[in-house]
Structure 1
Amino acid sequence: MQRHTYTLDHWEDRSGHRTTWKFGYRGSLGEFGRVEVVYPVSRHGDRHVTAVSGDTLPATSFSGWAYGRKPSLHLGQLSVGGAGIRLQRNRWAQTRAGRALRMRVAGREYRYLATGSRHRDRALVRDGVEIRTGRHGRGARKKATLTVLGPADATDLALASVMCGVNTRNLTRGGAVRAFFNRSLNWLEVFQ
């Protein structure tokens, strides 16, 4: 089975007002060329958008309810090559596999799931291909790694890359509980 590991470096642009700050990852994906993940590329009220661009990757974006600087899975919308993609997940499932984000892109079924109890280790899975994503380090040494198992194509890598810029805590039970309490506390602040 083919196995390739790519490392993307974290970057920040804190010029201007804080609502215009941009963050993300950039690097090379071998034969697929350069890639850049930007979040939030735009803000629409309480929604943030993460976008991926690259030499050979289809334009991919994820929009969702703002959680920090990234969009969350709550009210999430995915677009690949300009086409909207329907997302499904069972937020009440007890297992990580049951809580996986499911999507159908270019006629293929994908699952994006947590591979560990922490929110940093995830995997994008389809028939014959698995891309494991992980985030490591802090500050200027922060990095994202994509480990590709199988014959992945540009769409697979675009999907895995965009999810590096999405808050996916809700894919674990512990992360869902933390996100619920955080949203509840934010909601209470509205009434003060």
Structure 2
Amino acid sequence: MQQTYILDRWEDRSGHRLTWKFGYRGTVGEFGRIEVVYPARRHGDRHVTEVSGDTVPVTAFDGWAYGRKPSLHLGQLGVGTAGIRLKRNRWAQTRAGRALRMQVAGRAYRYLATSRRHRDRALVRDGVEIRTSRHGRGARKKATLTVLGPADATDLALAAVMIGVNTRNLTRGGAVRAFFGRSLDWLEIFHSP
């Protein structure tokens, strides 16, 4: 059984640029409306991406800011009121080895890159896979969720929140780019007047 859902990108640029919000929203079959917001909140150098909807649990990812999205660096995940422990091997050579691992409601999940592009990812647990992809430009940008297996609301919330997280570090090339980007940011700190 395979089902595909499309979320449309939206943005709210009203007010000061630090209050701008971005994200994706749409209807996901029997689960109803779902919305991804980033940054839903800011805490200094940390941003929060949040997912809410008709039936999905409120899910939030908090991490070191990378552009408008939180990154995996020092990331924290919450599903409903439960804090979820995240694990990953930063030094692994393969995409499968670099996968983000988590335990949610007694189920083991992996979130991994499915191609060298930073737009193609998959959330996998026993019997269920949700592939996510972002495509298009500007106002026509969209996110696609392709569901394989009997997914529930928690599965969809987890896959959707990760659309609003910078996950470049799940590929070797993305990790190298992120490292150099952070290094240049640190150099700016030391050279600012």
TM-score by length of 1: 0.99
- 2:69 maps to what in 1? 70
What is the letter of the counterpart of residue 54 of structure 1?
Answer: G
- 2:128 maps to what in 1? 129
What is the letter of the counterpart of residue 106 of structure 1?
Answer: A
Deviation of 1:27 after TM superposition, in Å, equals 0.1
- 1:85 maps to what in 2? 84
Deviations 1:123-142 (A, max 9, x none): 00000000000000010000
* Distance in 2 of aligned mates of 1:142 and 1:87: 29
- 1:186 maps to what in 2? 185
* Distance in 2 of aligned mates of 1:114 and 1:137: 19
What is the letter of the counterpart of residue 166 of structure 2?
Answer: N
SS of structure 1 residue aligned to 2:176: helix
Which residues of 2 match residues 86-105 of structure 1 at below 5 A?
A: 86-105=85-104
* Distance in 2 of aligned mates of 1:169 and 1:28: 27
* Distance in 2 of aligned mates of 1:163 and 1:135: 11
Deviation of 1:82 after TM superposition, in Å, equals 1.1
After TM superposition, the runs of 4+ consecutive aligned structure 1 residues lying more than 4 A away are none
* Distance in 2 of aligned mates of 1:82 and 1:122: 26
- 1:40 maps to what in 2? 39
What is the letter of the counterpart of residue 58 of structure 2?
Answer: A
Deviation of 1:173 after TM superposition, in Å, equals 0.1
What is the letter of the counterpart of residue 24 of structure 2?
Answer: Y
* Distance in 1 of aligned mates of 2:36 and 2:58: 11
* Distance in 2 of aligned mates of 1:151 and 1:12: 31
- 2:60 maps to what in 1? 61
* Distance in 1 of aligned mates of 2:103 and 2:69: 23
* Distance in 2 of aligned mates of 1:106 and 1:81: 11
TM-score by length of 2: 0.99
SS of structure 1 residue aligned to 2:57: coil
Deviation of 1:59 after TM superposition, in Å, equals 0.6
Deviations 1:83-133 (A, max 9, x none): 000000000000000000000000000000000001000000000000000
* Distance in 2 of aligned mates of 1:19 and 1:183: 21
SS of structure 2 residue aligned to 1:122: strand
* Distance in 2 of aligned mates of 1:60 and 1:47: 16
Give ranges in structure 1 of 5+ residues lacking alignment. Answer: none
- 1:140 maps to what in 2? 139
* Distance in 2 of aligned mates of 1:187 and 1:38: 28
Give ranges in structure 2 of 5+ residues lacking alignment. Answer: none
* Distance in 2 of aligned mates of 1:179 and 1:141: 27
Deviations 1:40-65 (A, max 9, x none): 00000100000000000001000000
Deviation of 1:174 after TM superposition, in Å, equals 0.1
What is the letter of the counterpart of residue 12 of structure 1?
Answer: E
Identity of aligned residues (%): 84
RMSD: 0.3
